[in-house]
With several copies, the nearest count.
Chain A
Amino acid sequence: MKWGVVTFPGSNDDRDSLYCLDTVLAQHAVALWHKDPDLHGVDAIVLPGGYSYGDYLRCGALARFSPVMHSVIEFAQAGGPVLGMCNGFQILCEAGLLPGALVRNQSLLYVGDWVRVRVENTRTVFTTACQDKEILALPIKHGEGCYVADRPTLQSLEDNGQVVFRYANAAGEIDPAANPNGSLNNIAGITNRQANVVGLMPHPEHAVEALLGGEDGRKLFCSLLS
């Protein structure tokens, strides 16, 4: 299993994602460079967090046009596993690989914290290792993580079970009070129809070591290994 982690100018969690994959999970992982359309034969792609191109127009807007993304889009359309975390999720939406968009948190404040998400779909390539309705503790750190989509889109997401993670409270209930950014239907992460592309605002790559606060994030990466 060979992983590729894309580095865009302004990516921050790219190094952390690589560390998570190669050092913590002992995977073969390589860095992919935004200017290089060659995917170097990777089997799975991670779009990391950070502020690609400064996120200066809209989060993820400028990244989607970088040379590597053309290849990533083809890779995804051919069924290749693609995981977008935080900024990576925003890029997937801007690139049209996932529906909807991520806008400014309702609070208008950046929020860095640990949250709970409930696994709503265990059939995506990144959630097969999770139990249905399992609660994962994951960190978030974003200013624009409020998921929005028009009614029909939202409806079809729900109807097709494309919602993968929802913000939940300690009891595992989908509680508005547990929603850190105002996302519609407490959506924290979604997948495409083929369930090979997953995007989420939380940072599973920052939840793989007990020393650093938790290991629930391992499940997403291990799903692909099992």
Chain B
Amino acid sequence: MLLAKVYVTLKKAILDPQGKAIAASLHALDYAEVSEVRMGKYLEVRLQGVSPSQAEHRVEEMCQRLLANQVIEDFRFEIIQEERGTPQ
């Protein structure tokens, strides 16, 4: 089975209220070393019966059509082989 790990992040210039609030809390917890937090999405998409190369192009398409909102988000993904039934 193939596992596509999809990372969806806010475009650089777009305000990230969540990241901002999390960074503030981390500072309040004395993690002064934290300079910035950006919040994104991580999706695990499991695929069956397609070749890695097909998957490449299908997942790219899924991201563009549904998984990422390209008005405000960027995405990237990687595809790995997964031994049956051991999704991590």
Instruction: Point out residues on A near B: beta carbons under 8 Å.
Output: 53-54, 56-58, 61-62, 65-66, 93-94, 99-101, 103-108, 148-150, 182
Contact = CB atoms under 8 A, between A and B. Distances in A.
A99 B28 CA distance: 25
Contacts of B21: 53-54, 56-57, 62, 108
B18 A54 contact: yes
Task: Please classify the interface of chain A as helix (H, G, I), strand (E, B), loop, or mixed, using the class held by over half of its residues.
Answer: loop
11 contacts: A53-B25, A56-B39, A57-B22, A58-B69, A65-B28, A65-B29, A101-B69, A103-B14, A103-B72, A104-B17, A148-B14
Nearest to A146: B17
Contacts of B34: none
Interface of B: 13-14, 17-18, 21-22, 25, 28-29, 39, 65-67, 69, 71-72
Contacts of B72: 101, 103, 148
Given A57-B66, A62-B25, A65-B28, A182 B17 contact: yes
A108 B18 contact: yes
Given A57-B21, A100-B71, A103-B72, A150 B29 contact: no
Contacts, number: 53
Contacts of A104: 17-18
Nearest to A107: B17
A151 to B, nearest CB: 8
Given A54-B21, A57-B39, A100-B71, 15 more contacts: A53-B21, A54-B17, A54-B18, A57-B21, A57-B66, A65-B25, A65-B29, A66-B28, A103-B72, A104-B17, A104-B18, A105-B17, A106-B17, A108-B17, A149-B71
